[in-house]
Chains A and B, each alone.
Chain A
Amino acid sequence: EAGVVQSPRYKIIEKKQPVAFWCNPISGHNTLYWYRQNLGQGPELLIRYENEEAVDDSQLPKDRFSAERLKGVDSTLKIQPAELGDSAVYLCASSLPTSGMETQYFGPGTRLLVL
């Protein structure tokens, strides 16, 4: 079974540039999560989807971050414009419908460096 796929694995951009990350979850997993992990911190949830619907985006900085999950499968997370403080690892995870009992399966993450 293929795992969660993320691309790119690494990205270096200059501040004020846009950047996008892509995630393909495990087949059949309705729930998709985007996390940001800053250095020395635990992953912080940015947005959670149940199928196409964003059911929790309370931690997503909506002035510069946007996400979409068209057709309830792949998802894209975008930052425009990027700031120095956005340098972090962006993790995507998927699971069966959430009840707190389901294991989340993580992708390898995208390491973003904003110069």
Chain B
Amino acid sequence: ILNVEQSPQSLHVQEGDSTNFTCSFPSSNFYALHWYRWETAKSPEALFVMTLNGDEKKKGRISATLNTKEGYSYLYIKGSQPEDSATYLCASYSGGYQKVTFGTGTKLQVIP
């Protein structure tokens, strides 16, 4: 993996469904991974900062895991609600903290 890739690009789920998506990043020179949520017409909002292999973070119904050896992170949303509708961005820091690269995002639409 040379770039930061996110999948799927977009996702529609029914209210109450649980969902997850993936961020893949270069595992060499890994330093940190950030997750952001970006609602339409608002500013991107930070969700998690993750640095250690095996890290798990949780914020309400949203959680994330990190595998630095294989270069991926999963974001999980349990019991999706319409207010979870947003684009979820991950950003990888590598080479110390000198280089930050964002993924293209996963656009989530939760249907009431």
A is bound by B: yes
Interface positions of A (Cβ within 8 A of B):
3-4, 35, 40-45, 56, 91, 93, 98-109
Please pick, from B6, B34, B97, the residue contacting A99 in the complex, using a CB distance under 8 A: B97
Q: Are B42 and A108 in contact (CB under 8 A)?
A: yes
Main DSSP-derived SS at the A contact region: loop
| 17 A-B pairs with C-beta separation under 8 A | A35-B102, A40-B104, A42-B91, A43-B89, A44-B102, A45-B100, A56-B98, A98-B97, A100-B31, A101-B51, A101-B97, A102-B49, A103-B49, A105-B46, A106-B36, A107-B43, A109-B43
Contact pattern, B 79-112, Cβ under 8 Å of A = 1, otherwise 0: 0000000000101010011111111110000000
Q: Which residues of B contact A43 (CB under 8 A)?
A: 44, 89, 91, 102
Please pick, from A3, A4, A42, the residue contacting B4 in the complex, using a CB distance under 8 A: A42
Chain A minimum-CB-distance residue to B105: A42
Q: Which residues of B contact A105 (CB under 8 A)?
A: 43, 46
Interface positions of B (Cβ within 8 A of A):
4, 6, 31-32, 34, 36, 41-46, 49, 51, 89, 91, 93, 96-105
- Please measure, in the bound complex, the distance between the C-alpha atom of A102 and the C-alpha atom of B49, giving whole angstroms: 8
Q: Are A103 and B46 also in contact (CB < 8 A) when A42-B4, A98-B97 are?
A: yes
Q: Which residues of A contact B46 (CB under 8 A)?
A: 103-105
Q: Which residues of B contact A44 (CB under 8 A)?
A: 102
Q: Which residues of A contact B99 (CB under 8 A)?
A: 56
Shortest beta-carbon distance from B31 to chain A in Å: 4
